[in-house]
Amino acid sequence: MSALAKPLSTPPSPAPQSEWNVEAVRVDFPILSTRVYNRPLIYFDNAATTQKPLVVVDAISNYYLYGNANIHRGVHYLSEKATDAFETVRHQVQTFIGARSANEIVFVRGATEGLNLLAATLGRTRVKSGDEILISIMEHHSNIVPWQLLCEQTGARLVVIPMHANGELDQAAFEKLLTPRTRILALTHVSNSIGSINPVKHMIQLAHRQNTVVILDAAQSVAHMPIDVQDLDCDFMVLSGHKLYGPTGIGMLYGKGSLLDSLPPYQSGGDMISSVRIEKSTFHKAPQKFEAGTPHIAGVLGLGAALDYLTRLGMAAIATYENSLLAYATQVLTGIPHLRIIGQAREKSGIISFTIDDVHPHDIGTILDRSGIAIRAGHHCTMPLWESLGIVATARVSLGLYNTPGEIDHLAETLNGVRKVMGL
């Protein structure tokens, strides 16, 4: 631990090596042994996207090098192999999130596309003028704007659950805002900006009493804790592969079987139809009904490798390690003069947003960058959240399974010097 990070008393000790061999994990991620500006890379931008283990890249390149074929419609060996591999990943996703059936898993481009699919299809079937769609103030833009557009189209009203200053949603307000008019509750599981873990299971139970359909945005939770959709009882859930140590351009939409089947198609074209006549077409059942065109086959196979990888490490072990890192980082950062952590919910995932007095977050980001430390600075796609707090931007550190206490020490050391670099 560096001398500069001293205002601390004794920091909590991170998980013992015997429980989590972080050095062994790091070997799986070649990028972590590269240098930027001739400094060892320290990657703390995991909420934006995670790095990829070699097994994920291998799965993608093996497909293109030795298994490339289109799926579902080929009668030849390669096509059948590719189809099998693709559909196996659907079962892996089912197991990973505890869905009842693989047919409840739709492959999409990412959480954003999943949410747009839901806004478009629920919008056409379940939302009319006078209805309400309930979101929270801490939603990512991708869980705000599709609902705004839907409200404009239908005459429904967007209603927002406020937050307490500590970063926890105001549950009393939520209970008041939830009414028989609430058709949809679209809620993030974990805030990408301030790390709050929302009490979604309880909120889902309350919403179901009003017959409200609940969509969970699990983009920020699924890589960091075990998730069981049947236990949570959400109706839909959206996920992004690239935040799960998998490839970009692939995501998942989970939906309860009967609900998915009740929705109309989103995009249309090849692969989602069972017959096409000029007068009228008929469609496959879910999930194929929602997978028009050639999918991102390599992305799905890479995702499968990522899920295998995470399952081998164990989601509970990942959560335990990351929680210890979060506790350590919070304590270390709290000891830095002029630094203010925004969002101190009692239940938090490994995301720390902060400001330093008189220094713009972008300057914090640039100074850290020159020390080899990658963080995010800005509004993190949650502008309404910051507006509600009267803050324009923050710096954000987001942790992943390969981060180490030593990296946090280096972060603290550099942050301690930020005001000096700015001449303050």
Positions that interact with ligand PMP (CB under 6 A): 110-112, 140, 142-143, 188, 192, 217, 219-220, 240, 242, 381
Pairing of strands 373-374, 351-356: unpaired
Q: How far is the CB of 222 from ligand PMP (least distance, A)?
A: 11
**CA gap 378, 353 in Å, rounded:** 10
Host H or E run for residue 253: strand 251-255
> Of the two residues 142 and 154, which places its CB atom closer to ligand PMP in the complex?
142
Q: Which amino acid is residue 418, in one-letter code?
A: V
**CA gap 225, 221 in Å, rounded:** 6
Cβ-count burial of 66 within 10 angstroms (0-12 exposed, 13-18 middle, 19+ buried)?
Answer: exposed
**CA gap 260, 230 in Å, rounded:** 15
Q: How far is the CB of 413 from ligand PMP (least distance, A)?
A: 28
**CA gap 326, 22 in Å, rounded:** 15
Q: How far is the CB of 191 from ligand PMP (least distance, A)?
A: 7
Q: How far is the CB of 220 from ligand PMP (least distance, A)?
A: 5
Residue with token string 């058709």: 183
34: left (phi over 0), alpha (psi -120 to 50) or beta: beta
Q: How far is the CB of 349 from ligand PMP (least distance, A)?
A: 11
**CA gap 250, 234 in Å, rounded:** 21
Please measure the distance between the N-terminal and C-terminal CA atoms of the chain and give it in whole angstroms.
25
Q: What is the CA radius of gyration of the chain?
A: 22
> Of the two residues 142 and 394, which places its CB atom closer to ligand PMP in the complex?
142
Residue with token string 């937050």: 163
Please report how the helices 315-334 and 297-313 are oriented relative to each other, as an axis angle in degrees rounded to 10. Answer: 80
**CA gap 318, 349 in Å, rounded:** 12
> Of the two residues 192 and 353, which places its CB atom closer to ligand PMP in the complex?
192
Q: Which of 117, 381, 385, 411 is catalytic?
A: 381
Going 48 to 52 to 56 to 61, the CA torsion angle's sign is positive
> Of the two residues 287 and 299, which places its CB atom closer to ligand PMP in the complex?
299
Residue 381: active-site member: yes
Q: How far is the CB of 345 from ligand PMP (least distance, A)?
A: 15
> Of the two residues 196 and 403, which places its CB atom closer to ligand PMP in the complex?
196
Residue with token string 């096509």: 79
> Of the two residues 113 and 407, which places its CB atom closer to ligand PMP in the complex?
113
Residues with Cβ within 8 Å of residue 38, at least 6 apart in sequence: none
Q: How far is the CB of 110 from ligand PMP (least distance, A)?
A: 3
> Of the two residues 83 and 248, which places its CB atom closer to ligand PMP in the complex?
248
Q: Which residues are catalytic?
A: 381
